[in-house]
Structure 1
Amino acid sequence: MYKQLFLCFFLFVFTFVKAQELNCNVTVNAEQIQVSNNQIFKTLENSLTEFMNQTQWTNIAFKDHEKIKCGITILLTEQKSTNSFVGTLQVQASRPVFNSTYYSPLLNYKDNSFSFQYTEFQPIVYNENGYESNLVSVMSYYAYLILGMYVDTFSLEGGKPYLNTCIYIANQAQQSGYLGWENSKGKITRFTLIDQMISSANEPFRKLFYQYHFEVMDVFERNQKSAASRMVQLLLPLEKMYDENPNSFMIRIFMDAKADEIVNIFKDNSSVDTSELVSVLKRVSSNNSKKWRQIDSL
């Protein structure tokens, strides 16, 4: 019953409160670039912070204390000309857990193909009807990706409208020629990431993503052992998803965000049988093997 009330409250907030949706901490690190005036990077940081937090991305926003906690760290590695820059982005987002002060990580993704042009004090404005610049497209893409993934955790595939906006942005940006938007088989780009995410083939993963948060994390404070046992049941099917598509980016993206959380949950609930799950995790996410051994040794 409490889950229905929680969902109703969430939808009520989404429907009737009009305000911006994100509480995004944007950081621009330009230490690797030697320039006479670093103020341009501080101006960029302030402009992007304002862009992410003051743009109304949807018509179903949150109260101030309910805004989505997220962060984007831009590491600039090269200045190709006066107003042309190259670097990387680290994008992170989290989601509150019901009846607790804990925030569950949703996304922890590094984008290695980021380049853009920027002149100090130029306006940064999202145009929902077309392409403005690569800087605007990349930042808008991640705003909608965060929104889509966030809403997906409260309602099964509820984030579809925002993820569809991501693919629209990606399609528009492909025509710019900037790296990171290409449809490259076997490589994670902004296009291939969202293309896989909204693919019908990944509906089982979207369902798992929803159930993980709504059926495990949101009941954790009430009954930790029951929630941990349910987590085992939900994660075991990852092996079948992996067998059907070993190149799926979804498992990789999920584990990059969730590996530490999964380990910590089972550390606190060592009586739950995880022997079969550890075997699955080592197979589907081998790069986290050291972390999975922490569960194996309990």
Structure 2
Amino acid sequence: MYKQLFVCFFLFVFTNVKAQELNCNVTVNADQIQVSNNQIFKTLENSLTEFMNQTQWTSVAFKDHEKIKCAVTILLTEQKSTNTFTGTLQVQASRPVFNSAYYSPLLNYKDNSFSFQYTEFQPINYNPNGFESNLVSVMSYYAYLILGMYVDTFSLEGGSPYLNNALTIANQSQQSGYLGWENSKGNITRFTLIDQMLATVNEPYRKLVYQYHFDIMDVFERNQKSAASRMIQLLLPLEKMYDENPNSFMIRIFMDAKSDEIVNIFKNNSAVDTSELISVLKRVSSTNSKKWRQIDSL
């Protein structure tokens, strides 16, 4: 009952009041670049932190302790010209678990196609009506991706409006000439990621993500063994999703965020029979085989 009241309150607040939504820690690492003025990178870091945390992305209101915890780590690897930089972007986000101090990871994604132009002290502002700069578009895209994924864990496909905003940004940016926005078969780009997330064929995945958090993680502290058993039944259909759509990036995105959490859950509930689950996990996420062996050895 308390959980339902909490979610109803969450959804009411999320749709009726205007305020900033993110608690985003932005880090700019430029150790690989030799420049005469390193202060430009600290200025950029401060500007992006302000941009992510003070932009009003939606009609949402959280108190400071309720804002969505996320982090963006920019690793600059090359300076192409005076104001043109390339590097990578690591984006992480988490979601509070009901009635606990634990935060469950939602996203842990590395974007390897990040380049932008920046002049110190230039204004960084989001324009929903068109492409302004790649720096603004990339950061805005990830703000909406985080928001959409977050709301999806409280309401089945409730994050669609924010995911659609990310898709709009991707579409607007495709003509910019910057890498990372292209529709590339077989590769994860910002466009293919959001396009697949919203695709009808991946609706079972979004339902699984919702049930994982709302039906299992949010009640985990009440009865861990029962919750762990139900998690097995929830995750087994990943094999069918994989068989029906082996080119989907969604399982990879899910496992990049959740693999450590899944391991820890079953290591702490070793009495639960995980043999069938391990077989599925090894098949659908073979890159995490070493992690799955930690469960298999219990």
Distance in 2 (CA, whole Å) between partners of 1:192 and 1:287 is 21
The correspondence of residues 1-298 of structure 1 with structure 2, limited to 5 A, is 1-298=1-298
> 1:59 deviation in Å?
1.1
Query: Does structure 1 retain, via aligned residues, the 8 Å contact 2:18–2:58?
Result: no
Query: Does structure 1 retain, via aligned residues, the 8 Å contact 2:16–2:59?
Result: no
Query: Does structure 1 retain, via aligned residues, the 8 Å contact 2:72–2:92?
Result: yes
Equivalent position SS for 2:36: coil
> 1:18 deviation in Å?
3.1
Query: Does structure 1 retain, via aligned residues, the 8 Å contact 2:3–2:98?
Result: no
> 1:10 deviation in Å?
1.2
Query: Does structure 2 retain, via aligned residues, the 8 Å contact 1:19–1:63?
Result: no
Equivalent position SS for 2:176: coil
Distance in 2 (CA, whole Å) between partners of 1:210 and 1:16 is 22
Cα deviation, 1:233-257, whole Å, max 9, x if unaligned, reads 1000000000011111000000000
Query: Does structure 2 retain, via aligned residues, the 8 Å contact 1:17–1:63?
Result: no
Distance in 1 (CA, whole Å) between partners of 2:280 and 2:109 is 23
Distance in 1 (CA, whole Å) between partners of 2:181 and 2:216 is 34
Query: Does structure 2 retain, via aligned residues, the 8 Å contact 1:27–1:72?
Result: yes
Distance in 1 (CA, whole Å) between partners of 2:235 and 2:182 is 31
> 1:63 deviation in Å?
1.4
Cα deviation, 1:117-150, whole Å, max 9, x if unaligned, reads 0000000000011111000000000000000000
Query: Does structure 2 retain, via aligned residues, the 8 Å contact 1:144–1:163?
Result: yes
Equivalent position SS for 2:91: strand
Structure 1's unaligned 5+ residue stretches are none
The AA in structure 1 aligned to 2:14 is F
Distance in 1 (CA, whole Å) between partners of 2:186 and 2:119 is 35
Distance in 2 (CA, whole Å) between partners of 1:94 and 1:129 is 29
Structure 2's unaligned 5+ residue stretches are none
The two structures have a TM-score, normalised by structure 1, of 0.99
Q: Which moved more, 1:54-63 or 1:260-269?
A: 54-63
Distance in 1 (CA, whole Å) between partners of 2:284 and 2:110 is 20
> 1:19 deviation in Å?
1.9
> 1:16 deviation in Å?
4.4
Equivalent position SS for 1:88: strand
The AA in structure 2 aligned to 1:134 is N
Distance in 2 (CA, whole Å) between partners of 1:223 and 1:179 is 47
* Identity percentage of aligned residues: 89
Distance in 1 (CA, whole Å) between partners of 2:213 and 2:230 is 11
> 1:72 deviation in Å?
0.2
